[in-house]
Structure 1
């Protein structure tokens, strides 16, 4: 939908891009992305004021979309000379190559249309004219951010703002980078500074409210929004949606409902709004009202895949209602991949395997490399004839392009070989897949000694302000199943360590172990940093469940003296089962498997830490053994609640995740004889049988 506009911008066909963008925005006036690219086309055409108005309309529709705020910063900087169009800029630099502003504005235009290489080239030309000018930092920082180097962008923009603290455009860009890094408090400070100086900047006010809310201060965020809510000219559907989400987070359903519903009627259809509405209707027990509201939107012609997905979410999986909705969706959007995916899933859950296979064939025809459809075809063949499935996947593997595709097929091949009882072949396939994934995986962390000279365990006051819990599980332990129970129960679980913006505290990097052992990292400061970052992670206090990526007993150098009231929960299965699960299914931590033997040796050494921790009671800790209950959500909820002092957690509809049945690892006794021999001693120490 937006590609023609982007292509026109990239090839310099500004008039064509503007015409296409204006037509799309007229057709879809409530589409924030359409307005974003209209703004980019207007800016490149020299219509700076119109560009700013368009991007402000987009932000009003989707106030929490950081990309829109980034685009607005580009418009502001790129419109320093609003009467200059690109042609005039070309002429200006042609007549006088030393015109710094012309180069900078051209670079901004290139950045706005997504041409990062051109933006950097023009910024380098500007740097030749004025190499110390702070405005150079904008393009340099934004390019780094879009390339995924938020840390580099932060250093460049922070230095520039320090030199010119009154430059609001640079300050805005710095706030966006803080946001990308997860430094919410710093982002809030930057945006508040701009809002204080330009009270009429609705977009910045909305951003302040959003950032405040993400820090768990919903009522304060609503206070920030009040001036906009009370101004009819500034009260858009996007503002209503944001206010409704804030009331919902605070549990005020009656206040949230009219705001969220008005946002939907006003044309907002982003995932955050739809997710909030689904939560509202579920908590109010008004699923039928939700069906009617979404059906009305769909009937109005404002159809989108997100809207259809929300409508489908109101029907039980595999029900007649789900089948009806997916049939309507496919009819409304023929050839839409997500519609076909939903139809295939609904048919499969309804037990209509042959119909689901037919949809899988159509999906493969539309998208030949579609993993889900190909997987269904392979799984159906595995169920009927595992040996034939092995041959079929091998044939796909022979003509697979690229390592990513090969890695996926090797995973399927291993599963087919497992079902065909080709145990050695399965191990070989999974091992080859692991080697292909080495570049995208985390290296196995170096471990400290399991036994050390420990500082004294500090005494715990009964009046302690918070009682944190750390959740961790080795690769293959099924710890993600326990996390699923906690999420379903709305427990204060922090799982951001596994996301794109993990917290930058001492419990995240593997190097913490080396720093504590060498004495270059202060244990008290480490825990202070952990506590200080909790509000920016969405938790105002310290009574949280923090899901860790790794564990090493060296952390006790900090936890014993500085957080004695904490508690560690370790998800556990038979170590040999964990090795097979890790090989076959991977792990949330994305740790690399350089070889099966190396993985087994590392796991044995790591589990030595767990054994010592539990045997010597070095810290309040409990192992939650889930062998045999991996796929039983009810029992998982029960053992987790028991480990947390007798709490009662509601069981989710399903345990979630893939995996083998308990004891399946014994099928690999011969194929993995060496690695199992490495793991058996520590398995026995942890209470498992020798064989």
Structure 2
């Protein structure tokens, strides 16, 4: 079976080209051709020989083939057209014309030529295979699949067609069909490297990365020059989290395809994920040098430069991207970040954004960015918002901004008037309704506020809106001093949410004996585990670290958490019953670090839960680790959890059950602290939850370093003040009674 013509560029078409053994033909490149059907060394003719389907001699097309092999596209095109003019009913002439047209970029004309060739030789499987290549380049996958099926139907031994169909099946997620196709291909050419590439990729897609990696590594040793195998191997390393090996594999591919932008992007991403953003930016720099860089590429490199701590290099690129695409929100966000980091850049930010607004006054994101560089709610901010309103009358975000300015200036009537205007423009607008409710409360009209919320509840169209309004109603009851009603509403809301949340983790029994502490290796990264029980306001510590650009990983609270022992809520039980050893628990954590992008000199991991069963893990196997625990009066913690929920998605069965669980959890914290069982810091949040500067100071004192202030408004809406639990002493008396002993043990008063 002969090889097909060189196929066009593109990811899917590239797979097809590599499956066929072709090489890219660019400047100075060569297009490798098979002798046409019926010629010496070529495939046999598969259709009846008719006068109009005459088998051509090799010499009929030698000039065209030679020009294509040399990459002389204009010469090949002229020769092919001359051959077609001389023999318009020669399928091979039409096939070669299609190849020349494709290389010259005339895709539609190439498709017409290959279709004419198929008309002349409908039983030639190779022609249908080449037509599939054209369809793949145009992303017409269904038509490509049809052509491939026709090719296989005409010649059941069309090995490349099975390989390509297998990749298409993988692309659409049909793993069973891909497996069937690779089995068929393996019967034709069992030792072919493309079979191994497809088998290995299929194993990775089925979740068996170890088997896939073994297949691909063996194939790469046997066929070191096969780029498709190397490509599949690189992605198998990536699936296993072996980022450095994946990087090396992609670099080897880049050596063979130095013009591949996609390969360079992949290497840069791997460098970034290994904590080397500066090298990632340097890797992308050549793509900026040829004058063809898109705004998206400039934004990407600018963002990586920011991650590398080089805002002076990222800022010019981001400004160029903004000039070309002022409506790109990602660019605007990155620019604001760059200006915040660069010294004395506020004037540059104002001037740049004002210039963009002069030509694009209707872009909301530009106005929001412009406000960042004015004192919060000051006179200059008011002037910017007035310009915003003039450019975009009745634009709700502009009205919201002006309402905020009025509130900060104490102009409450004006703020309420704007809020009422907003709800006319956008009925049910949450923030506007909140401000109207606040206006009732500020006037002492609690009944009016409650009536307003009840009216909104009657209008609510879905359960999510009703839940938000019930939360608002409970808050209004709290502000009105109607604490029993507020507690009842919050308890009902928690009960409604419980079936969708995780059960509370079981606690381990008291540890009788602990291993001795070991010394941390000299070259070990510093490790900080951050944790706080529900209601502790640990999220404000997390946000402060994130805004300070600390290497904190919050992925345990995401939809794609790590699968290590520190994530599984049955780990405490398994450590106690011996089904999991402390050494294995520590190793599972280490193994997951690379995939979680935690590979630098400092590792900060925000834990979903804590139990003292983890103490042997830290003492004996993670001696470089220390624990930071957010702490408040446990009774305030319970109330906050009841009213506001928790970052950890744990269900609250009832206030009493939650209090029992929290009492045990805080008892473990007391044990840990009193006996100094592991290196740790207690950050007491009482009285500082609404003070970003105080939070930063508390963390800085614990870590013996300077932590930047997160800034006003960065930590979210205000929560209950310290000691607010006393207002609920009667409705939550039973639950608070369970927490009072451990509260006293932690240093809080009895009442």
TM-score (norm 1): 0.74
Q: Residue 605 of structure 1 aligns with which residue?
A: 664
Rounded Cα–Cα distance in structure 2 between residues aligned with 1:538 and 1:220: 15
Q: Residue 664 of structure 1 aligns with which residue?
A: 724
Rounded Cα–Cα distance in structure 2 between residues aligned with 1:160 and 1:565: 34
1:588 equivalent in alignment to 2:647:
yes
Give the RMSD, CA atoms, in angstroms: 4.5
Deviations 1:594-641 (CA, angstroms, capped at 9, x unpaired)? 221221111112112111111222112232222223223333333322
Q: Which runs of 5+ in 2 are unaligned?
A: 1-101, 108-131, 186-193, 220-225
1:422 equivalent in alignment to 2:482:
yes
Rounded Cα–Cα distance in structure 1 between residues aligned with 2:279 and 2:339: 25
Match of 1:675 among 724, 735, 742: 735
Cα shift at 1:314: 1.6
Cα shift at 1:291: 1.2
Q: 1:491 to 1:227 in 2, by over 3 A?
A: closer
Equivalent pair of 2:271/2:279 in contact (CA under 8 Å): yes
1:493 equivalent in alignment to 2:559:
no
Q: 1:278 to 1:175 in 2, by over 3 A?
A: farther
Equivalent pair of 2:204/2:211 in contact (CA under 8 Å): no
1:389 equivalent in alignment to 2:449:
yes
Q: 1:89 to 1:567 in 2, by over 3 A?
A: closer
Once the two structures are superposed, the pairs formed by residues 209-248 of structure 1 within 5 Å of their partners are 209-233=268-292, 235-248=293-306
Rounded Cα–Cα distance in structure 2 between residues aligned with 1:172 and 1:312: 48
Q: Residue 692 of structure 2 aligns with which residue?
A: 633
Once the two structures are superposed, the pairs formed by residues 116-515 of structure 1 within 5 Å of their partners are 155=207, 195=254, 198-233=257-292, 235-267=293-325, 270-282=328-340, 283-301=342-360, 304-333=363-392, 338-384=397-443, 385-459=445-519, 463=522, 465-515=524-574
Equivalent pair of 2:547/2:710 in contact (CA under 8 Å): yes
Q: Please, which moves more after superposition, 658-667 or 362-371?
A: 362-371
Cα shift at 1:541: 3.1
Cα shift at 1:684: 1.7
Q: Residue 72 of structure 1 aligns with which residue?
A: none
Higher relative contact order (CA 8 A, sep 6+): 1
Q: 1:466 to 1:427 in 2, by over 3 A?
A: same
Cα shift at 1:125: 11
Equivalent pair of 2:166/2:177 in contact (CA under 8 Å): no
Equivalent pair of 1:470/1:545 in contact (CA under 8 Å): yes
Equivalent pair of 1:323/1:347 in contact (CA under 8 Å): no
Q: Residue 744 of structure 2 aligns with which residue?
A: 684
Q: Please, which moves more after superposition, 244-253 or 84-93?
A: 84-93
Cα shift at 1:556: 0.9
Equivalent pair of 1:524/1:562 in contact (CA under 8 Å): yes
Cα shift at 1:343: 4.3
Once the two structures are superposed, the pairs formed by residues 542-553 of structure 1 within 5 Å of their partners are 542-553=601-612
Cα shift at 1:681: 1.6
Partner SS state of residue 526, structure 2: coil
Q: Residue 562 of structure 1 aligns with which residue?
A: 621
Deviations 1:497-529 (CA, angstroms, capped at 9, x unpaired)? 334443343322213223322333342243244
TM-score (norm 2): 0.68
Rounded Cα–Cα distance in structure 1 between residues aligned with 2:175 and 2:562: 34
Q: Please, which moves more after superposition, 300-309 or 377-386?
A: 300-309
Rounded Cα–Cα distance in structure 2 between residues aligned with 1:177 and 1:353: 60
Q: Please, which moves more after superposition, 656-665 or 240-249?
A: 240-249
Cα shift at 1:394: 2.6
Q: Which runs of 5+ in 1 are unaligned?
A: 1-46, 53-76, 112-118, 143-150
Cα shift at 1:444: 1.3
Rounded Cα–Cα distance in structure 2 between residues aligned with 1:533 and 1:296: 47
Q: Please, which moves more after superposition, 474-483 or 359-368?
A: 359-368
Rounded Cα–Cα distance in structure 1 between residues aligned with 2:313 and 2:648: 40
Rounded Cα–Cα distance in structure 2 between residues aligned with 1:156 and 1:503: 17
Rounded Cα–Cα distance in structure 1 between residues aligned with 2:634 and 2:743: 6
Rounded Cα–Cα distance in structure 2 between residues aligned with 1:386 and 1:252: 53
Q: 1:423 to 1:212 in 2, by over 3 A?
A: same
> For the pair shown, which has the larger CA radius of gyration, 1 or 2?
2
Q: Please, which moves more after superposition, 527-536 or 544-553?
A: 527-536
Equivalent pair of 2:233/2:249 in contact (CA under 8 Å): no
